[in-house]
């Protein structure tokens, strides 16, 4: 009877461990996608800055183009700030997922040691 309880508890802890691994992997994937989007946004910002510089070329000033570039730069800066905030949140969630995984590993190890002790 006692062994079946350990087996049940061990199975439950193993499922939790698997869930924690999947959670951490998902958070990391999301973080990678977020970093990619942030990198793309920074690249586009650089392009807009170059376009703005060409709109202000020597003897040339294209007001409409300059205004459009400034508007797009402000929009991109807002997107960058939002993505940076999300990245900070993802970092926090990653830390939490990592600590959950460490705890799940510890719990599985404790159960396995108890099963060995009872069996042996």
Instruction: Please provide the DSSP assignment of 13-79 as one string.
Output: HHHHHHHHHHHHHHHHHHHHHHHHHHHHHHHHHHHHHHHHHHHT-TT---HHHHHHHHHHHHHHHHH
Digit-coded pLDDT (tens) for 17-53:
999 999 999 999 999 999 999 999 999 999 988 888 7
- pLDDT score of 119 more than 80: no
Q: Of the candidates 42, 34, 43, which has an alpha carbon nearest to the alpha carbon of residue 91?
A: 34
Per-residue pLDDT, 37:
95
């Amino acid at each position: 009877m006692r062994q079946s309880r350990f087996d049940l508890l061990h199975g439950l802890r193993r499922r939790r461990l698997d869930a924690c691994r999947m959670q951490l992997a998902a958070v990391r994937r999301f973080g990678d996608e977020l970093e990619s989007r942030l990198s793309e946004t920074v690249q586009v910002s650089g392009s807009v800055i170059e376009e703005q510089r060409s709109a202000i070329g020597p003897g040339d000033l294209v007001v409409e183009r300059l205004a459009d570039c400034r508007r797009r730069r402000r929009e991109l800066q807002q997107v960058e700030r939002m993505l940076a905030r999300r990245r900070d949140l993802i970092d926090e969630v990653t830390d939490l997922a990592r600590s959950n995984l460490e705890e799940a590993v510890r719990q599985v190890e404790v159960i396995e040691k108890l099963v060995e002790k009872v069996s042996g």
